[in-house]
Amino acid sequence: MLDRPIASQDAPSGPARRLLPGVILAFVGIAGLLGASGVAVGAAGAHRGGGDLARTSSEFLLVHAAAIVAGACVAPALGRISVLVVTALGLLAVGAALFGGELAVAALFDWRPVPLAAPTGGLCLIAGWLCLSACAVVAGTRRR
């Protein structure tokens, strides 16, 4: 689906046309790193005793990695609202890294280097999900 051409009426113009596929593929790569981190945190927590924080971190990283891949697959179908799609995926990626990363470090090393990372990450996640919803609403109203 990522290599499917965008319909001409929905295609971004100018530099965005060349940039969009690379950015979307970069998000798939970032999702792979988040997913691998989720598995690693889950395994470390199971063997090292990270408790509920490690489990929560692992779940958030894995779930949001999958959400980013799903968003990247849907992005070409959303056409002209690509900036909103990129914003949504970026917020999900940053939010998962901040939230999941802080919980992982706290669970595995009993250290909180950036005390507001988890709340900031949580706000980014909420905003990312809202942006993704807005993408669907805008795409739906344009198709009518």
Q: Domain for residue 63, yes or no? A: yes
24 found inside a domain: yes
- Does pLDDT of 8 surpass 80? no
pLDDT in tens, 18-64: 667 788 899 999 999 999 999 999 999 999 888 999 999 999 999 99
Question: How does pLDDT run across 90-122, given as a tens digit for each residue?
Answer: 999 999 999 999 999 999 999 999 989 999 999
Nearest to 94 by CA among 122, 72, 75, 116: 122
H helices within the chain, ranges in order?
15-48, 51-78, 82-109, 117-142
Lowest mean pLDDT among 3-12, 67-76, 105-114: 3-12
Residue 40 inside a domain? The answer is: yes
Residue 80's pLDDT is 59
Given pLDDT bands bounded at 50, 70 and 90, which one contains residue 82? confident
Question: What pLDDT is attached to residue 67?
Answer: 97
Give domain status of residue 3, yes or no: no
Q: What is the pLDDT of residue 18?
A: 62
Higher pLDDT, 4 or 65: 65
Work out how many domains the chain is built from and give that number.
Answer: 1
Inform me whether the pLDDT recorded for 11 exceeds 60: no
Neighbour tally for 109: CB within 10 Å = 11
Determine contact, residues 118/58, Cβ cutoff 8 Å. no
For residue 7, being part of any structural domain is answered with no
Q: Give me the domain span that covers residue 115.
A: 16-137
- What is the pLDDT, as a whole number, of residue 76? 81
Using alpha carbons, select from 27, 89, 37 the residue that is nearest to residue 59. Answer: 37
